[in-house]
Amino acid sequence: MNRDSYYSIIDERLNLLSLRIARNSSLNLQDLNIHCENFYAQLFNIVFGYQFKNLNAETQNVESIDLIDETNHILAQVSATTTKRKIENTLKKDSLKNYKDYSFVFIFISDKDAKNLRKQSFSNPSNILFNPERDIYDVNELLRKISNLDINKMKEVYNFVRNELKSDIDLRKIDSDLVKLINIISQENLDESLDIPLTVPFEIQKKIDFNGLGRIKTLILDNAIYSKKLNEKYEEFDKQGVNKSRAILNVLKTTYQKFEQQYDDSLQLFDKIIEVIIDKVKSEIDGQNLISIEELELYIPIIVVDAFMKCKIFKNPEEYEYATS
């Protein structure tokens, strides 16, 4: 595998993580942010040769400080809130006065770009060492640093990211979980007069490229392998005279159409569709212990990717024409 292949997967996994963090933060779900402290501590240790450890693992809720490198005298905060106010509120904390000879690094982990923050000046009453241009990282800046690593170091980052950010489908549960989701999502009324076009076969890579979704190619391809299993479940319902697949594809198509004009970034649009369907399922089950949030985040992408492959969401490559049913 060459450096382009390593970088492509690192890029994709970190961007997906950032989008997931942003979505969870909007729902006030903070568990993932806590796990990210350890993830980013190890990632920065690999990329920059730091010796970060999670200070919160030793002393709970240390004010403003998440990570500490006692050898290189560096402190870091890992945050999903990418704002000037967040930085200044941190820099004024009294706890920083105990680290006069340390520098402070901000690691922003959501999908928000911190480029403009690096150009600004900040109130720093604690007088801790802090250079905005050097000490503010977002996902894009971190990826820029990773892209310049030598091949051996990049491979080390690749192995770490690939192992840490993988999602394992439980093959023993996939049948029952997919049936649950099919039943829940298809509850929405379907206009039987709606003509949902079929499509001629196309190369999945061409559709990914055509829609600018290269950064999540692995996500799409990884979930595409489960389309056969999903379609087996659809066919079982069809044999019972219940067209669940039509109902679900209509839900996905209308969701895509609703948000298509609101997002210039295809990656954000893809993530928004997943978010909407997850929220729909959560509202339908309304506290019932039918399926966990973790399971939703595993299985909903399978259903969304299947709709992508059936050309119900996102644009079809120009050289392929729709064929109506």
Mean pLDDT calculated for residue range 211-228 = 86
Q: Which percentage of the chain shows pLDDT scores above 70?
A: 86
DSSP for 206-270, please give it.
HHHHHTT-GGGHHHHHHHHTTHHHHHHHHHHHHHTT--HHHHHHHHHHHHHHHHGGG-S-HHHHH
Asked if residue 215 lies in contact with residue 277, where contact means CB atoms within 8 angstroms, the answer is: no
pLDDT in tens, 254-304: 999 999 999 988 988 998 999 899 988 988 887 777 887 778 888 999 999
Q: How many CA atoms lie within 13 A of 169 on its CB side?
A: 18
pLDDT at 212: 92
The band of 249, judged by pLDDT with boundaries at 50, 70 and 90, is: very high
Helices (H) and strands (E) in the chain — how many of each?
Answer: 14, 7
For the segment 60-68, the average pLDDT, to the nearest whole number, is 79
Token pair, residue 136, equals 């503010």
Q: What is the pLDDT of residues 79-91, one digit of tens each?
A: 989 999 999 999 9
Between the ranges 54-58, 170-174, 295-299, where is the mean pLDDT highest?
295-299
Cβ neighbours around 183 below 10 Å, total: 15
What element of type H or E holds 304? helix 293-309
Q: Is the dihedral of CA 79, 84, 85, 88 positive or negative?
A: positive
pLDDT of residue 189: 46
Q: Pick the range with the lowest mean pLDDT from 7-21, 94-108, 139-153.
A: 7-21
Mean pLDDT of the chain: 85
Rg (CA), the chain: 22
The structure tokens listed for 65 are 């400080």
Query: What is the pTM for the complete model shown?
Result: 0.63
Q: What pLDDT does residue 279 have?
A: 87
Distance of CA 235 to the CA centre of its chain: 31
Q: Taking residues 153-162, report their average pLDDT.
A: 92
